[in-house]
Amino acid sequence: MSEGTFVRRTRVDAPALDLFRWHARPGALERLNPPWAPVEVVERTGGIDMDSRVVLKIPLGPTSVRWVAQHVAYEEGRQFRDVQVEGPFARFEHTHRFESHGPRESVLEDRIDYELPWGAVGALVGTPFVDAMLARTFAYRHRLTAQDVQTHQRYAGAPLRVLVSGASGLIGSALVPFLTTGGHQVIRLVRTAHARGEDAVAWDPATGAVDPTRLQDVDAVVHLAGENIASGRWNEARKARIRDSRATPTRKLCEALARLDPKPKVLVSASAIGYYGNRGAEVVDESSASGRGFLAEVCRAWESATEPAAAAGIRVVHLRLGVVLTAAGGALGKLLIPFKLGAGGRVGRGRQYMSWVSLDDVLGAVLHVIRTDSLHGAVNVVAPDAVTNQQFTETLGRVLHRPTVLPLPAAVARLALGEMADEMLLASTRVKPSVLGASRYVYRLPDLEDAMRYTLGR
């Protein structure tokens, strides 16, 4: 037999209707995408109701496969099912059920009935692989769903209208579906040439040109746009682009927000823990002075550029982001290939501190500062405990079941990356999230190994 059945059930401290509504809102499919194997949504018709369809591009090794699914068996508040119309399986039916267990508890159930191609041979070869893949995927999905729903319960209130810049970046592309599945409306602030869709507002970061009528009645603004600081070796031209991609657009945006009537209640503007510079083993928090170096200079200019918004009475929060952990990209994404090949190891002596944070806690922190009216100014968005590069390296090796015996000497790092090596790989920044702690933010992934296992599906 080439047929198989997979079932996962999870008890959730939330009403079944909340779980159902989370799945029914825009962005649910994007939120459920495992970061280690992202799926591209090519086309979508409708939501999860009867006969709506979605076309996906599924990664499969060095290539990809087309998957067309149609939604059937829709029952409001209780279940829906997607059936493969076109794809790699001979048959694939995925039933989502939401069972109520009292007013505040429910059970989330995913049941998949499938049939593999090539008969008995396909079953013999493919069934163990498919079952392992489904177990890995739905362990991640159920944990994410439960935590997302509970996070939105914690910050319940009137739905927000949120303007987001940098919506296609590493954080922004996760933040948008996180907010929409919570019932909020998101307007993406995008470069003029790429403005598409009713939820997109054209913006020229260099001049600040934007149609103010499209920004009316915005409750909150999350400003994430800026050139990737790790996209290549630094030279004077690249450093100028990094600096100018932050300070100038931020000031222009804040000037536009200051002219609105009514004005947004809050601006959440990205910054980074590079603000503190290389501080060795010293513990720093939001009350600490800025450090030295290029990144510290950029962060100071970046934060100062929000002055027009603050002067206009908008509550401004500077998110000083640590090293954001996700398998979808960033620092961890760059490390995966060498570590999987057994070529990973500490950088330099490995004693430098790394202040990290999971991507899901970045999203949670954004919602937390939007909903917490008492917060303003700098907020360090890092996990409660920084680790040394040696500890980070050993943890990643343990999670991937790979040795970590090939260190990257400091001299080699400097030869390859120049100034960027000193500021991004060899600098030590031991940051404490004092403001988040005092405001009772509840971390989703405070432990490094757990965060790595979660985002890597391990």
The Cα–Cα gap between 284 and 17 comes to 43
Residues 39 and 190: their CA atoms lie apart, in Å, by: 23
CA distances from residue 45 to 27, 50, 317 in whole angstroms, order as listed: 14, 11, 38
Of the candidates 10, 17, 9, the residue with the CA atom closest to the CA atom of residue 104: 17
Q: What is the pLDDT of residue 195?
A: 61
Q: What is the CB neighbour count within 10 angstroms for residue 407?
A: 17
Q: 3-154: which CATH architecture?
A: 2-Layer Sandwich (3.30)
List pLDDT tens digits, range 311-364.
999 999 999 999 999 999 998 998 999 999 998 999 999 999 999 999 999 999
Note the pLDDT tens digit of each residue in 352-395. Answer: 999 999 999 999 999 999 999 999 999 999 999 999 999 999 99
The pLDDT assigned to 448 comes to 97
User: Are the C-beta atoms of 26 and 179 separated by less than 8 Å?
Assistant: no
Strands (E), 263-376: 266-272, 283-284, 315-321, 323-325, 353-354, 356-358
* From the candidate CATH numbers 3.40.50.720, 2.30.110.10, 2.60.40.3140, 3.40.50.620, the one assigned to the domain spanning 161-456: 3.40.50.720
Residue 193: per-residue pLDDT: 61
Residue 125 confidence (pLDDT): 62
From CA 367, how far away is CA 251, in angstroms rounded?
23
Q: Where are the domains of the chain?
A: 3-154, 161-456
Tell me the two tokens of residue 16: 């079944």
Are the C-beta atoms of residues 234 and 418 closer than 8 Å to each other? yes
Cβ neighbors of 11 (< 8 A, separation 6 or more) are: 101, 105, 106, 107
The sign of the dihedral angle between the CA atoms of 331, 334, 340, 342 is negative
Q: What is the DSSP string of 139-202?
A: HHHHHHHHHHHHHHHHT-SSPPEEEEESTTSTTHHHHHHHHHHTT-EEEEEEEGGG--STTEEE
pLDDT of residue 350: 94
Residues 239-270 have pLDDT tens digits of 888 888 899 999 999 999 999 999 999 999 99
Residues in the chain predicted with pLDDT less than 50, given as ranges, are: none
Closest CA to 318 of 376, 371, 240, 274: 376
Provide the pLDDT for residue 239: 87
Q: End-to-end distance of the chain based on CA atoms, in angstroms?
A: 29
